[in-house]
Structure 1
Amino acid sequence: MVDAVVTVFLEKLLNALEEEGRVLFDFREQFERLRDELRLMQSFLKDAERLKRKNETLRTVMIGLRELIYEAEDILADCKVQSEGSQDISGWYAVCFYPTNLPFKYQTGKRLREINEKITRIKQNIPSFLGVPILSQAEIADSRNLPVDRWSSSVFDHSQVVGIEGDTRKVKNWLLEAKDGILAIGVVGMGGVGKTTLAQVVFNDREMEARFERRMWVSVTGTPNEKRILRSMLRNLGDMNVGDDCGELLRKINQYLLGKRFLLVMDDVGENTNTWWRKISDGLPKGNGSSIIITTRTKEVATMMGVEEERTHRPKVLSKDDSWLLFRNVAFAANGGICTSSELENIGREIVHKCGGLPLAIKAAGGMMLYQQPYYHDWKRIADHFRDELAEEDGSVMASLELSYEELPSHLKSCFLCLSLYPEDCEITKEQLIHWWIAEGFVPLRRGRLSTEAGEDCFSGLTNRCLIEVVEKSYTGAIQTCKIHDMVRDLVIKKAEDDAFSGPTTASCRHLGIEGDIDRKYDMPNQKLRALLSTIKTGEVNKVASSNAKKFCDCRYLRVLDISKTIFDKSLTGLLDHIGFLQHLTYLSLSNTHPLTEVPPALEELRNLQVLDLSYCQNLKMLPSYVTTFEKLTVLDVSHCGSLRYLPKGLGSLSNLQILLGFKPAKSNQLEGCRIAELRSLTKLRRLGLQLTQGDEIGDNDDNVLVGLRGLQFLVISCFDSHGDDLIPKLDKLSPPQQLHELSLRFYPGKMNPGWLNPFSLPILRYLSISSGNLTNMSQRFWGDGDNTWKIEGLMLESLSDLGMEWSMVQQVMPRLRIVNVSWCPDLDSFPIEDVGFRGGVWKKGERPS
């Protein structure tokens, strides 16, 4: 992925060169030469990437170029750190004249000259492999002016399926007929044929929800792990047990299921099933029409797990018409799935034919074409490349995925390879991915976009191309967690290992995932390592010995350190007291680590931090004042820190903050704490989470603070554990900005809604969530008038036991409403179970959605 490495480096270098020489000083000439050479090479790097698989010499050359770029990027980072450190001594020119930096200056200059000479030679040789000339400087566009993706958000429904109605009815009929014992159903077929999709449709079917009292979905992908499978089953039953005794785990499962009719899906089961499956199946209660669905690629596995031939379903590939329908739903999603060009339809049908009716291949091809300009020659080029890939790959799915990867913009290749760190069938949080991409500079900051918004664009770029599967969404439709298909994972691991992005060994890879116990297999230090992240599955924890944790700090070029969901055997001190050595660190996550009671002084050295995540650290009482000196900080998350007293005074100086979650304002007598008034200067803020407990946390002059945050799009106000009647009138005056897009009000203590919660004050609000609290009814202004109604499209009401509200009134005042999610609100009147035209869940009073 040399084109991706070059693109990321050029973005950083061009930004550094704009700093008037303050950072680079007299290395500027060498860096400018490097910039010019790389710009000249960009025109043919993508072709070189595609052809290196067929030419071993070219592959070797590209590997050498990649390593040179990585080294140049490390040198650039060192220059920045040296420059920033020297400012405290005698100004920026100390980089050159301060005695202790003279060896650095000499070695850096020498190494940059060597890198430039090698890159010049590579530039002269690569065109001969490709048969294309080097373009002149005048023909090279500024890389920052390259076009961005056409679609920066989801443009089609990822849950849509095509052509499996008959298959679904067949499997459902089998399930409805089950009576004695446990019915075993097998869904058997090749990779990418849609086995998991079929099982998901049946699993989530409302008729199946009503029939089965307990439902469990377990992804067995890869080498089966009995303990992990049992834990997953328990999590489906609402038990987060992380015990190690398989017998005890199975006994718990039996207790939950005893006397209940249950449905268990064992998805993507591979070989070596006999021993572990016999133990689990013997421990499950029998009868009541309970059933098991097994998806697998081999009939032998299904037979071994008790599936009889008459209960084995083999999904067929999609028909010609269904294949075209699925393709155009994706490729022409921006036009409602309609193709208006006969030329493009002919080429599209040619591509679809090559996909062989396999849904995964069709969706990947469609996602790729969604981002192509609607021009004949662009589409024909893709069709021709597909033919070439089919000649090399074993099957249309891998050919489609391979081509999808090659057609990715350079920055998205880096983002995509990050997925290689996660274990099989792992649910990945969108936030972790985006924070990682921002911290490593994978997100291109063009056209003045904020980094968090650009990160969302990158995520949408991968989901729209069907390279990421959606797992969980919020009621608004925003994706929260995702995963990748096992065949996509095979591809991304292969690419990542080829490019030393990540891999099975820790000695040379640049990105490493932490999963389970940290032991000797994590060979530290690795001076090439850029990112070390917790990739543990949901409901599990990492266990790290403090002696091993200290080794993390020896990886001096580490940019990303995420040790969330980790338990340390003694304390975090061994790691955190030395973390100041990681001068290049831009993303630090200590979320949900144990035991973390305070943030040590050593973190003060991390002046390059852009993302700091301390969420779910329940014993954390104070945030040190030096956090207010992290000028580059864009994300600060201290949400769900129950013991946190307040945030430090001076937080308003962090002018680059875009996301601030868990903000606990100081009371008037807490002089070292930050008051709400300081938020006034955070003009780049897009997401804000406020934690309020009493009225003294809101000053008399704070009324217009939030109103002035004109860029704010998402606001959470939580009054959990609030006390005192003075909070309600104070909060009533804390008006959000009129431009607010989404509002979440949690544990509101008042009987009547805040006065500003009305369509006059929030004229463009799209999503409203109210959960828990004492609300009994809504004010007259909430209901607007004939000329002023809500623009709300999504409404969630949860655990509001005293709230009375009529459905007819809601329909009248919210004419654009299309998503309604209601649970545990027994006094709501006439809310429908279903309503034609609504997407998402709609439930009548008192019912809890699944």
Structure 2
Amino acid sequence: MESKEIPFPIELAKYIDRDVFGLQIIEAQRIAASSCHKQIESQRIVQNLSYFCKMVDAVVTVFLEKLLGALSEESRIFSEFRGQFETLQSELQLMQSFLKDAERLKRKNETVRSIMATLRELIYEAEDILADCQLHPRDDGLLSSGWFMCICPSKIPFQYLTGKSLAEINRKIGNIKQNITSYLGVPLLNQVEPLDAQNDLLPRWSGPVYDHTQVVGLEGDASKIKQWLFEADKGILAIGVVGMGGLGKTTIAQKVFNDRKIEERFERRIWVSVSQKFDEEQIMRSILRNLGDASVGDDKGELLKKINEYLLGKRYLIVMDDVWSLDVTWWLRIYEALPKGNGSSVIITTRIEKVAQKMGVKEARSHWPKCLSKDDSWLLFRKIAFAENGGECMYPELENVGKEIVEKCKGLPLAIKAVGGIMLCKPSRYHEWRRIADHFRDELAENDNSVMASLQLSYDELPSYLKSCFLCLSLYPEDCIIAKDQLVHWWLGEGFIPLRSGRSAIAAGEDCFSGLTNRCLLEVVNKTYHGTISTCKIHDMVRDVVIKMAEDDAFFRPDGRNCRHLGITGSMLQKDNHKLRALLSTTKTGEVNKIASHTAKKFCESRYLRAMDISRSIFCMPLSSLLNQIGFLQHLTYLNLSHTHPLVQLPPSLDKLNNLQILDVSYCQNLKTLPPCIVTFKKLRVLDISNCGSLKYLPKGLGRLSNLEVLSGFKPAKSSQLEGCRIGEIRNLIRLRTLGLQLTCSDEIGDTEVNVLINLQELQHLSISCFDSHSNDDLVTKLDKLFPPQQLHQLSLKFYPGKISPVWLNPISLPILRYLSISSGNLEKMNERFWGLNDNAVWKIEGLMLESLSDFHEEWARVGQVMPALRVVIVSWCPELVSFPIEDVGFKGGVWKEETKT
């Protein structure tokens, strides 16, 4: 709390009026005495806090993680309050045995629910105090000196009020601890049992372990529907896939929709997610987006007319996924506008048979998927739970327990995936599996729905840090496509991800993302050619569970009241909520947010806001009016302003955001400059300025950002741009993992700067784009000397101006390169060193993408010979590529594609 916002306490004023100097001396002596043992106390606190990593309550764990970092890194700030923070830490330690089971108990016991809610609010208050302590002005250690207190009495109100607040929090937590036994008969231990914190803090698998697209036991369902589609010739064939939640209806429809023969039969394929809450106009716009039309500003009549024009004379397939409403007048209007004939078809997935009937599905074309057979259920479970061994159970003692668990899933694929994901992430030990099986049995005793019971079990078994990450999914609307980067950046900004010394923050965040995908709590939507998941979504039944958990913990509530996280969707009216920690754009693809000026101004009144993503938003006020107030959000760590085209410059008040870790202004086409204060953000980990066409260069001094891990869209200054950052500064960014370079002329690379990349030992992903460079021989010469580091994992060259590939693009210089993408530009041939002939070297490349290389003239057989590990190939618009096996992969629309090549 800042002294200017809170009146000076009467109690303290009374003593200061009597003897100001004496009070200051006493306070200074107390601080000095406590500071004498600062180093010893810090070590002891760090040691004690290491036992807490296994605590189930996510809020407590996150707070203790932040306190651990604060005490160990910035101990000078907390010398005044060390005793209070240590007391708080000790009380929470004694409550550990209770907190381990509290998540399950609170669903059954109102008293426990009330206790946990009170405890949660107290921890949030303590976390806000901790954050204020970190912001409070420091004077290089003088704050703890007695004489400094004498000459700076303005520090006393902050110290007094902070100490008083912490004492009150400790008193209340002490009362909770004392009352737990009398309320519940749950004794508290006087000492903490050491726990294997490492096992809980680090995910067992740091990446996707199995193929998320694999389907088991539904092949017959898909074949039946495909046969119906091939038989269609008149009118519009309506097919219904009907059944209970978690049965695999959407999976069957997806398998049909993505089938190569179906793709060849239908000239247009359209997928629309309808769900429980939908808008007729948005469904029409979704259809048009599938057809490549943004359709901004049209009314319903115009939208229907456009749909008809795009589909007229075409054979099309439309999937209406997850329809709930018995009122199908919206569909009848769309249906009337659709061209008839040519064998066009519609697939409708729904839980309600009557919905399918009302939408025109005949009984003969209604399909009811059955639950998986016993063998298929066990096969699906094995593919996930034993993915590390290719789906084979290598532990005979686990097989009977696994089959017992699978039997309880009753053949429902979603339930099997959920429990399989749990077991994948657990040690292969009998007693651990037995414990999970018993826990599942208990859940089923309370909820006979095996899908909901398995999902609840999955949540209960999450490590505490992943529970916070999982609760973030509650903000997103039904069927919303979620960008992985937004989730990871949000988690980092709020401190949900445990970080350890030397550990890459981005890598830790991606590990947490994998932790949720491996547990089947996130569904993969899109992957890049190199297998990295870029977008995801959640099943509607998973969403039901996460919303319930989020409401219970006041993490998120749909009405936005008294919660700490809020999603921006559509037209937003913000209520007063000073507790907000995160405000994020959660609109569906192709939609924008419309935010009133009154609402926008309230954003900056939430002074404890950590994460603010207002991308893809339209403000009913000048954007500058909002951004000029952003300096009040001094706790902000994640700021996303991407796709805000009115943005011309960032406000001067940005210089107050010293805690900023992630800044994303990508796709801001009108952004002309970045303020010099950017280079003072010592905590900055991610800076994304990609696709900012009007931005000429970055400010000088970027090399000071020693924590930077991701730099996208970097445009080096020319020698004449004296205020700009030269490419030579990159050599100081030794933690850089991802770098995107934008180069247009040779003057952007000095003669002494051609070696800037070679020593970036953490660099894994490099993208070089030479858009708008035209034919520039000098730039090609400089690029030929711009050697990347040998440990590079992924390389992308866009608009390369040379006719021959760079000399360093060879298997000797890049021995562990796994993914290579070359698109557009003048490339005709590969440098002879590319083929590794003189050194008998071969590439270890697994994924290759070649796009829009109209002059590229090489033999495909030669490429395959030098890349024996190649698994995924995507080739498009390379007409001079010799002997590419079109007959094996098909040719459509100028795109040649071969996947999972062996």
Long gaps (5+) in structure 1: 836-840
Q: CA deviation at 1:359?
A: 0.2
Task: State yes or no: 1:148 paired with 2:202.
Answer: yes
8 Å contact from structure 2 (residues 645, 667) kept in 1: no
Task: State yes or no: 1:847 paired with 2:900.
Answer: no
8 Å contact from structure 2 (residues 76, 141) kept in 1: no
8 Å contact from structure 1 (residues 227, 244) kept in 2: no
Task: State yes or no: 1:512 paired with 2:560.
Answer: no
Q: Decide whether aligned partners of structure 1 residues 43 and 746 sit closer, same or farther in structure 2, where only a CA change above 3 A counts.
A: farther
> Which structure 1 residue ranges, 4+ long, deviate > 4 Å from structure 2?
88-97, 127-133, 141-147, 841-846
- Distance in 2 separating the partners of 1:390 and 1:799: 55
3-state secondary structure, aligned to 1:173: helix
Q: 2:713 aligns with which of 662, 669, 682?
A: 662
User: In the alignment, what sits opposite 2:846?
Assistant: 793
- Distance in 1 separating the partners of 2:271 and 2:131: 46
Amino acid in structure 1 at the alignment position of 2:895: E
Stretch moving more, 181-190 or 133-142: 133-142
3-state secondary structure, aligned to 1:726: helix
Q: CA deviation at 1:779?
A: 1.1
Amino acid in structure 2 at the alignment position of 1:847: V
Q: 1:589 aligns with which of 640, 653, 661?
A: 640
- Distance in 2 separating the partners of 1:754 and 1:473: 28
- Distance in 2 separating the partners of 1:138 and 1:412: 23
Q: CA deviation at 1:725?
A: 3.1
8 Å contact from structure 1 (residues 833, 844) kept in 2: no
User: In the alignment, what sits opposite 1:838?
Assistant: none
- Distance in 1 separating the partners of 2:780 and 2:871: 31
Scaled by the length of structure 1, what TM-score is found?
Answer: 0.96
Task: State yes or no: 1:707 paired with 2:755.
Answer: no
Q: 1:726 aligns with which of 778, 802, 818?
A: 778
Task: State yes or no: 1:204 paired with 2:258.
Answer: yes
List per-residue Cα deviations over 1:813-838 (Å, max 9, x = no partner).
Answer: 11111110111111111222476xxx
- Distance in 2 separating the partners of 1:774 and 1:196: 44
Task: State yes or no: 1:817 paired with 2:870.
Answer: yes
User: In the alignment, what sits opposite 1:159?
Assistant: 213
Amino acid in structure 2 at the alignment position of 1:797: L
Identity of aligned pairs, percent? Answer: 68
Amino acid in structure 1 at the alignment position of 2:797: L
Q: Decide whether aligned partners of structure 1 residues 507 and 103 sit closer, same or farther in structure 2, where only a CA change above 3 A counts.
A: farther
- Distance in 2 separating the partners of 1:570 and 1:108: 38
8 Å contact from structure 2 (residues 466, 512) kept in 1: yes
Alignment of 1:203-602 (within 5 A): 203-446=257-500, 448-519=502-573, 522-524=574-576, 526-602=577-653
- Distance in 2 separating the partners of 1:407 and 1:103: 44
Q: CA deviation at 1:147?
A: 4.8
Amino acid in structure 1 at the alignment position of 2:867: M
Q: CA deviation at 1:88?
A: 9.0
* Aligned-CA RMSD value: 1.9
List per-residue Cα deviations over 1:333-375 (Å, max 9, x = no partner).
Answer: 1111111222211011111110010000000010011111111
8 Å contact from structure 1 (residues 774, 800) kept in 2: yes
Q: CA deviation at 1:144?
A: 7.1
Task: State yes or no: 1:631 paired with 2:682.
Answer: yes
Q: CA deviation at 1:468?
A: 0.2
User: In the alignment, what sits opposite 1:753?
Assistant: 805
Q: CA deviation at 1:288?
A: 0.3
Q: CA deviation at 1:722?
A: 1.3
8 Å contact from structure 1 (residues 96, 105) kept in 2: no
8 Å contact from structure 2 (residues 886, 896) kept in 1: no
Q: Decide whether aligned partners of structure 1 residues 414 and 690 sit closer, same or farther in structure 2, where only a CA change above 3 A counts.
A: same
- Distance in 2 separating the partners of 1:88 and 1:446: 25
Q: CA deviation at 1:309?
A: 0.1
Amino acid in structure 1 at the alignment position of 2:156: L
- Distance in 2 separating the partners of 1:248 and 1:666: 48
Q: CA deviation at 1:665?
A: 0.4
- Distance in 2 separating the partners of 1:490 and 1:527: 27
List per-residue Cα deviations over 1:30-84 (Å, max 9, x = no partner).
Answer: 11221222233334313111111111111111111111101000000000011xx
Q: CA deviation at 1:253?
A: 1.1
Amino acid in structure 1 at the alignment position of 2:260: R
- Distance in 1 separating the partners of 2:169 and 2:415: 41
Amino acid in structure 1 at the alignment position of 2:489: H
Amino acid in structure 2 at the alignment position of 1:717: I
3-state secondary structure, aligned to 1:620: coil
- Distance in 2 separating the partners of 1:734 and 1:783: 20
Task: State yes or no: 1:739 paired with 2:791.
Answer: yes
3-state secondary structure, aligned to 1:418: helix
Stretch moving more, 759-768 or 123-132: 123-132
- Distance in 2 separating the partners of 1:146 and 1:461: 12
Q: CA deviation at 1:630?
A: 0.4
Q: CA deviation at 1:570?
A: 3.5
Q: CA deviation at 1:594?
A: 3.4
8 Å contact from structure 1 (residues 546, 572) kept in 2: no
List per-residue Cα deviations over 1:263-300 (Å, max 9, x = no partner).
Answer: 00000000144210010000010000000000000110
3-state secondary structure, aligned to 2:275: coil
Amino acid in structure 2 at the alignment position of 1:217: W
User: In the alignment, what sits opposite 1:781?
Assistant: 833
Amino acid in structure 1 at the alignment position of 2:392: I
Q: Decide whether aligned partners of structure 1 residues 125 and 337 sit closer, same or farther in structure 2, where only a CA change above 3 A counts.
A: farther
3-state secondary structure, aligned to 1:603: helix
Q: CA deviation at 1:569?
A: 2.8
List per-residue Cα deviations over 1:252-271 (Å, max 9, x = no partner).
Answer: 11111000000000000001
Scaled by the length of structure 2, what TM-score is found?
Answer: 0.91
- Distance in 2 separating the partners of 1:516 and 1:797: 38
8 Å contact from structure 2 (residues 582, 611) kept in 1: yes
List per-residue Cα deviations over 1:747-798 (Å, max 9, x = no partner).
Answer: 1111111111111111110000001111111111111126211110100001
Long gaps (5+) in structure 2: 1-54
3-state secondary structure, aligned to 2:241: strand
Q: CA deviation at 1:808?
A: 1.1
Q: Decide whether aligned partners of structure 1 residues 610 and 534 sit closer, same or farther in structure 2, where only a CA change above 3 A counts.
A: same
Say how many residue pairs are matched.
Answer: 840
3-state secondary structure, aligned to 1:139: coil
- Distance in 2 separating the partners of 1:127 and 1:340: 44
8 Å contact from structure 1 (residues 712, 737) kept in 2: yes
List per-residue Cα deviations over 1:218-260 (Å, max 9, x = no partner).
Answer: 0001123111111111111111223351111111111110000
8 Å contact from structure 1 (residues 822, 844) kept in 2: no
- Distance in 2 separating the partners of 1:40 and 1:149: 26
- Distance in 1 separating the partners of 2:796 and 2:398: 44
User: In the alignment, what sits opposite 2:29?
Assistant: none
Amino acid in structure 2 at the alignment position of 1:503: R
8 Å contact from structure 2 (residues 96, 192) kept in 1: no
Q: Give the structure with higher Rg (CA).
A: 2
Amino acid in structure 2 at the alignment position of 1:737: P
3-state secondary structure, aligned to 2:81: helix
Q: CA deviation at 1:145?
A: 8.1
Q: CA deviation at 1:421?
A: 0.4
3-state secondary structure, aligned to 1:402: helix
Amino acid in structure 1 at the alignment position of 2:752: N
Q: Decide whether aligned partners of structure 1 residues 523 and 20 sit closer, same or farther in structure 2, where only a CA change above 3 A counts.
A: closer
Q: Decide whether aligned partners of structure 1 residues 96 and 78 sit closer, same or farther in structure 2, where only a CA change above 3 A counts.
A: farther
- Distance in 2 separating the partners of 1:129 and 1:463: 38
Task: State yes or no: 1:765 paired with 2:813.
Answer: no
3-state secondary structure, aligned to 1:533: strand
- Distance in 1 separating the partners of 2:877 and 2:76: 59
3-state secondary structure, aligned to 2:895: coil
Q: CA deviation at 1:848?
A: 4.9
- Distance in 1 separating the partners of 2:366 and 2:308: 26
Q: Decide whether aligned partners of structure 1 residues 143 and 31 sit closer, same or farther in structure 2, where only a CA change above 3 A counts.
A: farther
